[in-house]
Amino acid sequence: MSGHGEAIAMVARRGAALRGVAEVPGDKSISHRALILGALSVGETRVTGLLEGQDVLDTAKAMRAFGAEVERQGAGAWSVRGVGVGGFAEPSEVIDCGNSGTGVRLIMGCMATSPITATFTGDASLRKRPMGRVTEPLALFGAEAYGRKGGRLPMTVVGAVDPMPVRYATPMPSAQVKSAVLLAGLNAPGETVVIEREPTRDHTERMLRGFGAEISVEQVPEGRLIRLVGQPELRAQPVAVPRDPSSAAFPVCAALIVPESNILVPGVSQNPTRNGLFTTLVEMGADIGFDNPREEGGEPVADLRVRFSALRGVEVPPERAASMIDEYPVLAVVAACAEGRTVMRGVKELRVKESDRIDAMARGLEACGVRVEEDEDTLIVHGLGAGGVPGGATCATHIDHRIAMAFLVLGLASQRSVTVDDGSPIATSFPVFEALMAGLGADIARVVP
């Protein structure tokens, strides 16, 4: 299933209980960073459990274009021979990051402090997304960026010849912006400092430390202050990628709303900067067991035992938004199947994701018979209780994998089937979604034209 091919309509219908083991793919955020830090290290980094979705494959291709040797050695097993910090070669072709905002923003960061020039593009969805949020802080290091109006791709980044270290307070909670600045700081002399008012996912900091960078994090009155000493020699490391909590969200939420379901989702990352969805679901009354907690690849993981639950609406606090930003679409579906209203505040970042996710979820839920209220920064879903959603609609996905998967999950629990106009973008993050859900007993099929 290609993220760039023609549209593939898909339909989900109510059926039997979901049962079995859901082995979700590796974490997308950590997969991108493993390839990038492997490319910036000296020696061979071996990665296991890498997510082989299109977004990550595009990052692998980009690292090759900058001079690293990147090879697939088996399912999820990859080898990266790096060029060291500051060792990037100038790529001869345009870097196409496909659908991946994480890929393009992190790669811009790690080349911005080398004296090379690179041009970036992506698919129709990525070309609409704002890049100024990373090119502005990268300009402080001395990099220059020339893009389309509104700071959009295609964009050419001219790396700094004599980069300066930077002190930067992120204007919005964004792990991509923070990570781009830290990766740029690797090849700047002295100390680069990033201050985040609200904490965001910390995979970059954990992994930089694992590869031998000198990095410290402390709480100060302004928020989380991260210091990175520039020009380290990063040493190649084995990276075991834990399973992606954002992908796990779909089978977990499906099991909670399909009657009599009982599934096991092993080895899911429990990184506290990523587990806001699970915290919220438990508050709603979800029956989720977090078994066999352990550490893999510097990240906490656990096996999730998930059973069908009678859920109630809750208020999700705005300060939790950064730890579950990608999970709001599927949470909105769960909220539709809960009793009472669920209020999601502090979610304006959703308006500039692969699509305007607040609008996409609101329109699709309304089409399925669910009452929704929204403003710039809030989404309120009026739940209809277990089995109460009428369904029977076709929902527009706007080339957005998470919108597509969220509405397919809704179709498994609604009275009538739910169709999505295009399931092809699912391949960008969760290429085995259809097979995995079918293995649990879900009735999800492609619509034959």
Q: Is 326 a catalytic residue?
A: yes
Which of these is catalytic: 27, 58, 202, 326?
A: 326
Relative orientation angle of helices 245-257 and 433-440, to the nearest 10 degrees? 30
Q: Say what the alpha-carbon torsion angle 413, 370, 320, 151 is, to the nearest 10 degrees.
A: 110
Written as one letter, the residue type at 381 is V
CA distance 445 to 368: 19
What distances in angstroms separate CA 279 from CA 128, 211, 213, 321, one per listed residue? 32, 30, 32, 12
Q: Which helix (H) or strand (E) holds 87?
A: none
**Scanning the structure block, which residue is given the tokens 């300009």?**
139
Six token digits for residue 32: 């991108």
Q: Are strands 239-240 and 44-48 parallel, antiparallel or unpaired?
A: parallel
Neighbour order of strands in the sheet with 443-446: 394-395, 418-420, 10-13, 443-446
Half-sphere exposure of 427 (CA within 13 A, CB side): 16
Pick from 139, 92, 87: which is nearest to 115 by CA? Answer: 87
Phi, psi of 116 (to 5 degrees): -130, 165
The count of other CB atoms within 10 Å of the CB of residue 346 is: 18
Exposed, middle or buried, 46 (CB in 10 Å: 0-12/13-18/19+)?
middle
Any bridge partners for residue 395, and if so which?
A: 420
Any bridge partners for residue 218, and if so which?
A: 225
**Scanning the structure block, which residue is given the tokens 């699970």?**
278
CA distance 366 to 373: 10
Written as one letter, the residue type at 300 is P
CB distance 82 to 68 below 8 Å:
yes
What is the set of active-site residues?
Answer: 326
